[in-house]
């Protein structure tokens, strides 16, 4: 099976390839396409929006991922705004700094949090499969580790003493929202009509 990865985020593409380990042929989006709109209020709405937007441009099924970090003590932020928490075009460092300041300004050294991942597989104008998954854990007010991307230096999954950014890719995928969602998607591919 060949799937077009409907994302502009290289870290997501790398993680999908690691998690799938060759079971599916992944191809990138053709270059020069506009960025899909992301105006939904939920991860699933945004994943659907991206999948259907890019599916209109290609023949093969496309897979979109919308994901992010939810911190209930911060009113659910960064949430669906995770990629642009510190402003449009913000980099991971700026987003992490903003999260650290948001925690500290509320007197929090740590807080419960989860990473969520919605995946939508679409072909042409039709959604074929949708799955959602999450990993519960904690965020902290100081970063640790050099691996991964995004908020990985601030997040530890429940049952692990280390941050995602302190883990190898294989260790992160034992816990991660994305790896769980991909496994569920693969299990449901036979349901596709």
Active site residues: 66
Using CB under 6 A, pick the residue from 61, 66, 103, 157 that binds ligand ITT.
66
Quote the least distance from Cβ 151 to ligand ITT, whole Å: 4
What is the distance between the alpha carbons of residues 34 and 12, in angstroms, rounded to a whole number? 18
> What's the N-to-C CA distance of the chain in angstroms?
14
Nearest residue to 74 via CA among 82, 84, 62, 63: 82
Contact status: 61 vs ligand ITT (CB under 6 A): no
Using CB under 6 A, pick the residue from 52, 65, 71, 99 that binds ligand ITT.
65
Return the residues of window 102-161 that contact ligand ITT according to CB under 6 A: 115, 148-152
Nearer to ligand ITT, 84 or 188 (CB): 84
Quote the least distance from Cβ 81 to ligand ITT, whole Å: 8
Q: How distant, in Å, are the alpha carbons of 5, 79, 164, 169 from that of 68?
A: 18, 6, 14, 18
Quote the least distance from Cβ 178 to ligand ITT, whole Å: 6
- In terms of C-beta density within 10 A (0-12 exposed, 13-18 middle, 19 or more buried), how is residue 105 classed? exposed
Using CB under 6 A, pick the residue from 3, 24, 71, 83 that binds ligand ITT.
83
Quote the least distance from Cβ 153 to ligand ITT, whole Å: 9
Question: With CB under 6 A as the contact rule, which of the stretches 4-12, 51-59, 102-110, 122-130 interacts with ligand ITT?
Answer: 4-12
Nearer to ligand ITT, 75 or 107 (CB): 75
- Would you state the structure tokens that stand for residue 71, as one six-digit string? 């911190």
Binding residues (CB under 6 A) for ligand ITT: these are: 7-9, 12, 38, 50, 65-69, 82-83, 95, 115, 148-152, 164, 176, 178
């Amino acid at each position: 099976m060949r799937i077009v990865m409907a994302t502009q985020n290289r870290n997501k593409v790398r993680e999908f390839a690691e998690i799938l380990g060759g079971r599916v042929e992944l191809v990138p989006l053709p270059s020069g396409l506009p960025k899909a709109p992301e105006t939904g209020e939920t991860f699933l709405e945004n994943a659907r929006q991206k999948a259907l937007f890019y599916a209109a441009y290609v023949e093969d099924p496309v897979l979109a991922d919308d994901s992010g970090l939810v911190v209930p003590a911060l009113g659910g932020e960064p949430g669906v705004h995770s990629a642009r928490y510190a402003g449009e075009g913000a980099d991971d460092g700026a987003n992490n700094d903003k999260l650290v300041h948001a925690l500290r300004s509320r007197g929090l050294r740590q807080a419960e949090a989860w990473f969520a991942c919605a995946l939508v597989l679409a072909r042409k104008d039709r959604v074929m499969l949708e799955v959602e998954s999450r990993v519960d854990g904690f965020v902290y007010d100081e970063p640790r580790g050099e691996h991964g991307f995004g908020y990985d230096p601030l997040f530890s999954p429940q049952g692990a003493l280390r941050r995602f950014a302190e883990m190898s890719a294989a260790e992160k995928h034992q816990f991660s929202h994305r790896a769980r969602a991909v496994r569920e998607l693969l299990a449901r591919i036979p349901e596709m009509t």
